[in-house]
Structure 1
Amino acid sequence: MTRQWKDRTVLVTGGSSGLGAAVVAAVAKAGGRPYVLDRRAPAAGVPWMECDLADTRAAEAATRQIAARAGGLTGVVTAAGMDVPGRLADVNGATWDRIVAINLLGTAAVVRAALPELERTHGTVVTVASTLGVKAVGDATAYCAAKFGVVGFTRSLAAELAGRVGVTLLIPGGMRTAFFDDRDDKYKPGPDAILNDPADTAEAVMFALSQPPGCAVRELVVCAEQESSYP
């Protein structure tokens, strides 16, 4: 029997666009209450706090404020992410560091701050890695380092919190989002690229969040059937 969604509160990082926005919509549709941490406002009516997740102490503080405002948290989904592809020698140090900070360090910071509430409610964390967290490619050293780190972080977290908090690692393939918009054309999916709808990936997140206490979906790989980056 899956959890009922009435009065459930879920914090979504990066909830203003892409997969995060799809998760926010799915939580609201199910009858839950989504909250967002992002640098941009989410859909109208969704409570949120502005936060740069590269600033990990600020991310921790914002998470605690959201939890207090929500009256507790039953779920956290770390959907925020960014990348600037390029050769290691061509990506400036500040950009490289920011990619790792947002994807990995920001994830850990938000989860760390949310843990007291999640333990109290026996809630669930869903971290968002990538197929590039299990399969490395060139010109993506920062992104692969960060997403491989999310995989390791989440597997360790699952062992650490077993019996107290549900922990799910989501490994999504490419999706039809704005994630690719600002990069050089050579790093954008081609016109024939087969990408997943973020709403479909969000359904996998909802499945993980809906498990009853004592049952955890440990890992999910969700991608288009003809995803080129997995396996």
Structure 2
Amino acid sequence: MSFERVAVTGGASGLGAAVVRAVRKQGGTAVVLDRQRPSDEAGWVEVDLTDPAAAEPALAAAENEIGPLTGVVTAAGIDACGRIEDVQIDDWAKVISVNLIGTAAIAKAAVPRLERSGGRLVTVASTLGLRALSDATAYCASKFGVVGFTRALAVETAGRVGVTMLVPGGMQTSFFDGRPDQYKPGPDAMLNDPDKVAEVVVYALSQPRGVEIRELVVCPSIEPSWP
């Protein structure tokens, strides 16, 4: 099963950290690929995904840490909220660099490894990869890109590598910290527990070779950005 040895980008916090916990809970081994050291004892490879060339050596280091990878999850993500004229272009471009190009770079490095192991790649898109929202042009552009990229990759690797796209809604994570108040969820916002969402990721990773779960939407029952 593909949750046996899993590399998780953005695994030091948020959904990524929850995926690491879920993999370990099911008896697998996970390694964190992140700029920040994880707070627990999970294996860690320091990597900055604003540099696409860092993806290949990061996965090589992950395999040195835990052995041949059977699963890769691209949970790293950032945002730059605000109207287009108010967001610094460097900040806007960084969102694309981490969320979209970083996902593609990791996938490129992961595909030959996962083909050898019969493993699976899980990309993390967003409900805002399927629905537009004001003051979120960078995030929407990056996540719309992840949707298109993942769908194309699934066609390209069909029969060789399992590819699943997770489309999560709002979650109770630090993702919203540091934003202006108007871009934070309100006090009555219903947000999902990332540990529950991570269980869905492990379910996708657990599918046998030849069985495809192409896309999963997991959101609160009153998610404002879905459908």
TM-score range, shorter chain: over 0.9
What's the offset of the Cα at 1:62? 1.2
Quote the residue 1:183 is aligned against. 179
TM-score by length of 1: 0.96
2:201 is the counterpart of 1:205: yes
What's the offset of the Cα at 1:59? 2.4
Quote the residue 1:52 is aligned against. 48
Gaps of 5+ in 2: none
Give the Cα separation in 1 of the matches to 2:182 and 2:80. Answer: 12
SS in structure 2 of the partner of residue 212 of structure 1: coil
What's the offset of the Cα at 1:67? 2.3
Query: Residues 7-22 of structure 1 correspond to what in structure 2 (within 5 A)?
Result: 8-22=4-18
Quote the residue 1:193 is aligned against. 189
Offset from partner CA, 1:2-52 (integer Å, 9 cap, x none): x385xx210000001100000000001111110111011113221111111
Aligned residues: 227
TM-score by length of 2: 0.97
Quote the residue 2:96 is aligned against. 100
Query: Residues 60-79 of structure 1 correspond to what in structure 2 (within 5 A)?
Result: 60-79=56-75
Give the Cα separation in 1 of the matches to 2:84 and 2:180. Answer: 15
Give the Cα separation in 1 of the matches to 2:111 and 2:73. Answer: 13
Give the Cα separation in 1 of the matches to 2:2 and 2:186. Answer: 41
2:28 maps to amino acid: G
Task: Say if 1:170 and 1:220, in contact at 8 Å, map to a contact too.
Answer: yes
Quote the residue 1:155 is aligned against. 151
SS in structure 1 of the partner of residue 122 of structure 2: strand
Quote the residue 1:225 is aligned against. 221
Task: Say if 2:31 and 2:65, in contact at 8 Å, map to a contact too.
Answer: no
Counterpart of 1:38 (choices 8, 13, 34) is 34
2:184 maps to amino acid: K
- The answer to which of 50-59 and 220-229 deviates more is 50-59
Gaps of 5+ in 1: none
SS in structure 2 of the partner of residue 65 of structure 1: helix
Quote the residue 1:165 is aligned against. 161
Offset from partner CA, 1:52-111 (integer Å, 9 cap, x none): 111111123212221243321000000000102001111111100100000000011011
Task: Say if 2:6 and 2:30, in contact at 8 Å, map to a contact too.
Answer: yes
Task: Say if 1:125 and 1:168, in contact at 8 Å, map to a contact too.
Answer: yes
What do you get for the CA RMSD once the two structures are aligned?
Answer: 1.1
Task: Say if 1:67 and 1:114, in contact at 8 Å, map to a contact too.
Answer: no
Offset from partner CA, 1:152-185 (integer Å, 9 cap, x none): 0000010011111110010000000000011110
Tell me: CA distance 1:49–1:4, structure 2 relative to 1, closer, same or farther (3 Å): closer
